[in-house]
Amino acid sequence: MRLLRLLIPDLPRSSGGDLRRRKIRGIATMLAVFLVGSVGLAVGLLAAMFADDARRTQQQLCEAQLREILHAAPSAAMAVVSTDPLATPVAVPLPPACRDASLSLKVTEVSPDRRNVQALAVFQRFHASETLEFQRQGSTWKLQSATLTPNTDHLHTTSPQP
């Protein structure tokens, strides 16, 4: 108590109980501030985790939709593979349920008897592509292979169109 009076000269004279109560209140206040901070940190971490899970779920849904759209590419490519290889990309009509999606095909000539068709599927802000290789057999074109273009980002995002 004497040391406290030397350090804090304005300390009122009272019994030792008041000093103990003040110490306990100070500790309780510090503990309350620490707990509130801990709860705030936990809420922030949970919010970040939920946002990350929502983003991942959205990506998986878009990836599944893009795979479904790319399933339509080979049959649509059979109709356009015989067209002029220098033509602009051809938009493939999709069912009304896929109103947020698009599929375009671009034909390139590798040799007179070989053509590649690049299929680009776009859904919301994501896109995926595949290359279809066709070979002429007589008067018809036959699909030789279909290669999904590897993506480094799992799915690429496109910038929103104004």
How many Cα atoms occupy the beta-carbon half-sphere of 93 within 13 Å?
A: 3
For the stretch 57-92, pLDDT in tens is 888 888 888 888 888 888 888 888 877 666 678 888
**pLDDT at 12 (0 to 100):** 60
Phi, psi of 117, deg, nearest 5: -120, 120
For the stretch 5-63, pLDDT in tens is 566 666 566 555 566 666 777 888 888 899 999 999 999 999 999 999 998 888 888 88
**pLDDT at 37 (0 to 100):** 94
Confidence of residue 100 (pLDDT cuts 50, 70, 90): confident
Is pLDDT of 160 > 50?
A: no
pTM: 0.61
For the stretch 104-118, pLDDT in tens is 999 888 888 898 899
In the chain, where are the structural domains located? 1-162
148 closest CA partner among 63, 91, 89: 63
**pLDDT at 8 (0 to 100):** 64
**pLDDT at 45 (0 to 100):** 96
DSSP codes, 42-95 = HHHHHHHHHHHHHHHHHHHHHHHHHHHHHHTHHHHHHHHTTS-TTSPPEEEP--
Is pLDDT of 158 > 60?
A: no
Confidence of residue 98 (pLDDT cuts 50, 70, 90): confident
Measured between alpha carbons, how far is residue 87 from residues 37, 76, 108 in Å? 62, 16, 9
Strands 156-157 vs 126-137: parallel, antiparallel or unpaired: antiparallel
